[in-house]
Amino acid sequence: MGNRSSLLLCEEEIAQIQEETGFTPNQIERLYSRFTSLDRGDCATLSRDDFLRIPELAINPLGERIVHAFFEGSGNSDRVNFRQFMKVLACFRPIKSSHQHGNNSREQKLKFAFKMYDLDNDDLISRDELQAVLHMMVGANISEEQLTSIAERTILEADQNGDQMISFEEFCKALERTDVEQKMSIRFLN
C-alpha cells in the first residue's frame, strides 16, 4: 500500500537527491512525506506561509531569516520545490567524517549562519545588521543601548581590517573555536 508521497518520487529522483544532498533514500522519502503534508496548495511547492506553519519555525526568533534561506537560491522567489528544500536541509545534516558531503561541511554551515546576519546580502555584516538580528533574537528583553553595545563590541572584536564590518572570512575566524558542526546539525531519522 503506497501513500501519496511514495507514488510521486521515482527511484531515479531519489538517487539524484541522494547524490546532491547525502541523505539516505529512507530519509528522502520521510522528508518528502513531510514536505507534501506542508503543501496546502497541492502544487508540489511550498510558499513562505507553508514554512511558517512549521511550529518550530513559527516560534523561532530567526524563523523568518531561516525561511528566507530556502527561497534565496530558488529562481522563483515565491515557491520552493522539493529538490530546493532538500538542498537547504542538507546543510543541517550532521557531519560524519566518512560521509561528509559538500552541503553539510563546516564551511557550508558557516555560510548559512553568516547569511542569517547579512540582511542586505552584500557579503558583509554591519553593526546595524548585527543589532537587528540581535533584536530579533532577544526582543525587548534588553535595552537598545545594550544591543548597540553588544553589536559594537562584536564588530570591534571580529573586524580585522578596520572597515567596521564583518566579512565571511572574519566571521569564520571569530567562530574558529565554536563547534559549528554540532550546533548546526539536526538528527534526521533513518
pLDDT in tens, 74-102: 565 789 999 999 988 998 888 775 445 56
Q: What single-letter amino acid sits at 123?
A: D
pLDDT digit string, tens, across residues 14-69: 999 999 999 999 999 999 999 999 988 778 899 998 998 888 888 999 998 999 88
pLDDT band at 169 (very low <50, low <70, confident <90, very high): very high
| Measured distance CA(77)–CA(58) in Å, rounded | 20
164 neighbors 126 (Cβ within 8 angstroms)? yes
Written as nine digits, the cell of 69 is 534561506
pLDDT at 1: 37
Q: Which residues pair with 45 in a beta bridge?
A: 81
Complete domains list, the chain, with CATH: 4-92 (1.10.238.10), 97-183 (1.10.238.10)
